[in-house]
Structure 1
Amino acid sequence: MKATWSGTLQFGLVALPIRLYTATEEHSVRLHEIHVADASRVEHRRYCKAEDREIPYEEVGRGFAMPDGSMVPLTPEDLARLPLPTKRVAEVLGFVEGRDIDPLSYGRPYYVGPGGPGADRPYALLVEALARTGYVAVAKLALRGRERLGLLRPHHGMLVLQTLLWQDELRDPGDLAPSTPVSDRELELAEALIRELTGIDVGQVHDEYAHALEQLVDAKITVGELAKPAEAAPAMDLMAALEESVRAAEQAHGRPSARPRP
C-alpha cells in the first residue's frame, strides 16, 4: 500500500516515525450522467468566466476566497510553507477511555505503520501499552488539506488511527427524538426480540446493490423493464408485530418460546 501521510507521532518525549495508509476502500457502483433525450454522456468542463473559454487541467490552480469575492492564488509552494506544526508531527494530546469518544464523531480509518529505522520498538510498546490499559490516544495532525483530531487504538497487534470530527461539525438533532411513552409489556417483548436476534456475522453480509442493478440493466435491454417489486407488508399493531416477530425468531432458531407472558 502507498502511504498517504508520513511524519512523527509525538507522545511525551517519545518521537515515533510513522506512516498512514488508507484502511478502507468503497466498491460502490457508479452511475453516469446522461442527456435524457439521446442517452449520450454528459461532460463537465473547466470554464473560465473572465476569459469566456474552456481551460485545460494544467491551468487550474487553487485560491482563497476573500469577503469581497476576490481570490488570492495559492501555489503548492505556498501551501508547503503553511506555518502548521501538525503537517509532519502528530501530537498526542492525551489518553482517554474508548467509550468516552462518541462514535458519531468517527471519520476515516487509517492503518499506522512504523516509519523508519528504530521505530519498531516504540511502536510495539505503544500498541501493547494501549492494549493493556484499555485507553486510546487522542492526537492532532494535518491530513488531507486540513487539521484533524485522530483517535489511536490497537487493532490486531498494530495501530489504527481514526479521524474524528470537530465538535462544531456535529449537528444538533433538535427535537427529532419522539416523546411517546412505551408500556412495560412492549418493552419486555422488544427485549425478548433483541435476545433472540443477538449475534450476527457481519462478514457474511454482502452488498446486493450491484447484482440488483445488473438485473435491472439486463431486464431493460431484453424486456424493457423489471418486474415490479413486492409491496411492503401492511402495518401491524405494535404489540402484534412484536409478538409475531419474537415467535418467528424463536422458530428460526429452533428454541422453545421464552417470551414473557402477560
Structure 2
Amino acid sequence: MRSIWKGAVTFGLVNVPVKVYSATEDHDVSLHQVHAADGGRIRYQRVCELDGEVVPYAEIDRAYDDGVQTVVLTKDDLAALPAERTREIDVVEFVPSDQVDPILLDKPYYLEPDSASAKAYVLLRETLKRTDRTAIVRFTLRQKTRLAALRVRDDVLMLQTLLWADEVRVAQFPSLTDDVKISDKELELSAALVDGFASDFEPAAFVDEYQQELRTLIAAKLEQGDAIDTEETFGARAETGGEVIDLMAALQASVERSRAAREAAQERSEAG
C-alpha cells in the first residue's frame, strides 16, 4: 500500500506521527463509453460557456454561485485558508464507542506509525482498547476539513471520517404512525423466521455476483474474437488506467491470442 498523507495524532502534549492509508479499494471493472456505431471512445471536454473554447485543467478555478452572483475562488485563495496548512489529527474528545452512530461513518483509513519508535502509537492503541473509547478528531485532507472517529481494528489504529450532523437527514414518514398494531402472535412468528436465518456474519462469504458475471462476459467476448483494437479506435490518447484486477492481464493475453488466430486463419485462406 502507498500512504496518501502524513501527519500526527495530537492530544495534550502527546504527539503520534502516522502515515495514512486508504483502508478499502474498488474492484469494479472499469468501463468506458463508446459510440455504438463504430466503437469509438466517447470523451468529455471542459468547455467554457462564454467563448466555447476547451479549457486546460491548469486554467480552471473554483466558484460559488448563490443563484444571483458568482464568486470565483482561485487556487491561491483556497491555499491561503488556515486549514490547508495543518498536518495534525487533533483529538477533540474521547467518547464511549457505542455513542458513535454507524450512520455517521464514512471513508475508512489505516494509520501506520511514522517514527523510529512505535511506543506512542501502541500506547494510544492500548488505551483506546482498555477504555472502550473512540477518539473524535479533526483533520484536513484533500482541501477539506473533516471530522473523524479514531478507533482500533485488530491491532491497527483506524481513522474513519464522519458525516457532519447536518448531513444526515431526519427520517419522518407519515406512514409510520402509532395506529399500527402488532399482535404477540405475529411477533412470535416473525421471531421464529429470524431464528431460521440466524448466522454469524462472515463478509468473505459474500461476493459481487454482478462483477463476476461481467468479468465472465468480457472474457467470453475476448475468446470469441469479439473485440476492437484499442489503439485504432480510442487513438493515441487511450488511457491504460493501470491494472485494475488480476484478470486484466489474462484478458489482454486472450486478445493477443485471438488476434493471432484470426491472422493465421486469414493467411491459410489466402494460401489456399
For 2:119, which of 111, 118, 121 is the aligned residue?
Answer: 121
- Is the 1:153–1:161 contact (alpha carbons within 8 Å) kept by the matching residues of 2? yes
Distance in structure 2 (CA, Å) of the matches to 1:176 and 1:98? 32
Are the aligned partners of 1:86 and 1:140 in contact in 2 as well (CA < 8 Å)?
no
Q: Which residue of 2 aligns with 1:84?
A: 83
Distance (whole Å) between structure 1 residues aligned to residue 138 and residue 195 of structure 2? 40
Amino acid at match of 2:70: S
Provide the rounded CA distance (Å) in 2 between the counterparts of 1:93 and 1:70: 35
**What's the offset of the Cα at 1:71?**
4.2
C-alpha separation in 1, matches of 2:52 and 2:84: 41
Query: 1:37: how far off?
Result: 5.4
Distance 1:55 1:95, change over 3 A: same
Higher strand content, 1 or 2: 1
- TM-score, normalised to structure 2, is 0.71
2:205 counterpart residue number: 204
Question: Following TM superposition, by how much is the alpha carbon of 1:4 offset from its aligned partner in structure 2, in angstroms?
Answer: 1.8
Deviation at 1:216, TM superposition (A): 5.8
State the TM-score, normalized to the length of structure 1: 0.73
User: Which structure dedicates a bigger proportion of its chain to helix?
Assistant: 2
How far apart, in 2, do the equivalents of 1:88 and 1:174 lie? 40
Q: 1:89: Cα distance to partner? A: 1.4
Work out the CA distance in 1 between the residues paired with 2:57 and 2:14. 43
Larger deviation, residues 35-44 vs 141-150 = 35-44
Match status 1:102 vs 2:95: no
Secondary structure in 2 aligned to 1:203? helix
- Structure 2 match to 1:155: 153
**In 1, distance between residues paired with 2:79 and 2:14?**
26
- Counterpart residue identity of residue 93, structure 1: V
Offset of 1:137 from its aligned partner? 0.6
1:135 aligns with 2:136: no
When residues 69 and 37 of structure 1 are mapped into structure 2, their CA distance, relative to the original with a 3 A threshold, is farther
Structure 1 CA distance, aligned partners of 2:15 and 2:175? 46
Paired amino acid for 1:123: Y
Helix, strand or coil at the partner of 1:125 = helix
| Gaps in structure 2 of 5+ consecutive residues | 225-272
Q: Separation in 1 of the partners of 2:141 and 2:29?
A: 27
Question: Aligned partners of 2:160, 2:102: CA distance in 1, in Å?
Answer: 10
Residue 122 of structure 1 aligns to a residue in which SS? helix
Instruction: Indicate if the aligned counterparts of 2:21 and 2:110 stay in contact, CA closer than 8 A.
Output: yes
Residue identity over aligned pairs, in percent, reads 36
**Unpaired runs of at least 5, structure 1:** 223-262
SS in structure 2 opposite 1:128?
helix
Structure 2 counterpart SS, 1:148: strand
Q: Deviations over 1:182-221 (max 9, x none)?
A: 22222112222222322232212111112333566659x9
Distance 1:86 1:164 in 2: 21
In 1, the alpha carbon distance for the partners of 2:11 and 2:62 equals 35
Work out the CA distance in 2 between the residues paired with 1:146 and 1:168: 16
Q: Distance between the aligned counterparts of 1:2 and 1:58, measured in 2?
A: 26
Output one character per residue of 1:206-238: Cα deviation in whole Å (capped at 9) or x when no partner. Answer: 11112333566659x98xxxxxxxxxxxxxxxx
CA drift of 1:53 comes to 1.4
Counterpart position of 1:50: 50
- Contact residue 98 and residue 135 of structure 1 kept, 8 A: yes
2-side partners of 1:130 and 1:193: how far apart?
A: 38
Q: Contact 1:86–1:147 (CA<8 Å) still a contact in 2?
A: no
Q: Using the alignment, how far apart are the partners of 2:174 and 2:24 within structure 1? A: 31
Q: Distance in 2 between matches of 1:62 and 1:136?
A: 38
Pairs aligned (count): 218
Whether the aligned pair in 2 keeps the contact of 1:48 and 1:55 (CA below 8 Å) is: yes
Q: What is the rounded CA distance, in whole Å, between the counterparts of 2:210 and 2:133 in structure 1?
A: 38
CA gap of 1:92–1:86, structure 2 versus 1, over 3 A, is farther
| Cα distance change of structure 1 residues 215 and 154 upon mapping to structure 2, 3 Å threshold | closer
Give the partner amino acid of 2:108. Answer: P
